[in-house]
Amino acid sequence: MKSLMIQGTSSGAGKSTLVTALCRIFANKGFSVAPFKSQNMSNFAYKGKGFEISRAQAIQALGARCEITPDLNPIMLKPLGDYYSHVYLHGKKFKKMHATEYYQKFVRTRGLNIAVKSLHNLQQNHDLVILEGAGSPAEINLEKFDIANMKMAEKANSPVLLITDIDRGGSFASIVGTLALLDKKYQKLVKGFVINKFRGDPKILNPGFRKIKEKTKKSILGVIPMSDFDLPEEDSLNVKAKNMAWSKKNLDKIDQEIDKLSKLVYSNLNIKEIERMIK
């Protein structure tokens, strides 16, 4: 029942990509691996036999070389506008729901129970589950409704790595600020940080690393350089995602890109330290 969770200092920090890479890295090491995201908002779904889950978790499953099942993404929200979404539970359309109803009446009761059940199913059937958070765990105005970040790390008894996009600027402040805004019990779950999308010589970051260690007592576990990979992306503020066909040609292409991505991440991340965390 080993697990590892990737959370971010913001949306678009690189959580989905890092989970995909780690799924392939640990699959290559002989682990039976599965990805997991309790709740995902996306208009881009993978359609299996009688179910739909977020495309991101399906691609992560390709990285893990595991079966694509509804447990990988037990709650999917397809936004409709005006604060309404179609809510999918375990791959099936449940109902159209307003954000107020979803957060106030659903997410902390039935939603949390559904997510935890899927997580436990995966933990029972795999050596390692790699969880992905959503947005940032430090959205303190929404903390009591958040079942995608620290609440799920707690349920999984999982160490957390926090990834940040340095290309946007403000990464060191985002790391320290995110950690500072978390409850003490959740701060203890964070075991280290990952710098993503860096351009240049990583040595110039060393003074920042020392300050981060001084402020947080935790270390930077890797610097992933800015690179382009031809992988389908989620809709976000800075990316307009596109539909894709799940053809053999496309899947073979994605598999090759995942291989290249995993090699890049493996060579720039302290994988041995991460392995020690999950033992």
Q: What is the pLDDT along the chain (279 residues), one digit of tens a residue?
A: 799 999 999 999 999 999 999 999 999 999 999 999 999 998 889 999 999 999 999 999 999 999 999 999 999 999 999 999 999 999 999 999 999 999 999 999 999 999 999 999 999 999 999 999 999 999 988 889 999 999 999 999 999 999 999 999 999 999 999 999 999 999 999 999 999 999 999 999 999 999 999 999 999 999 999 998 888 876 544 555 667 888 889 999 999 999 999 999 999 999 999 999 997
Asked whether the beta carbons of 114 and 148 are under 8 A apart, the reply is: no
Question: What pLDDT is stored for residue 43 in this prediction?
Answer: 87
The residue segments making up the domain with residue 67 are 2-278
Question: What pLDDT is stored for residue 237 in this prediction?
Answer: 45
Split into its structural domains, the chain has a count of: 1
Question: What pLDDT is stored for residue 1 in this prediction?
Answer: 72
CATH of the domain at 141: 3.40.50.300
Question: What pLDDT is stored for residue 207 in this prediction?
Answer: 96
For 99-157, the DSSP string reads HHHIIIIIIIIIIHHHHHHHHHHHHHH-SEEEEE--S-TT-TTSGGG--SSHHHHHHHT
Sign of torsion, CA 243 246 248 251? positive
Tell me how far the alpha carbon of residue 110 is from its chain's centroid.
22
Question: What pLDDT is stored for residue 241 in this prediction?
Answer: 60
pTM for the model stands at 0.95
Residue type present at position 87: V
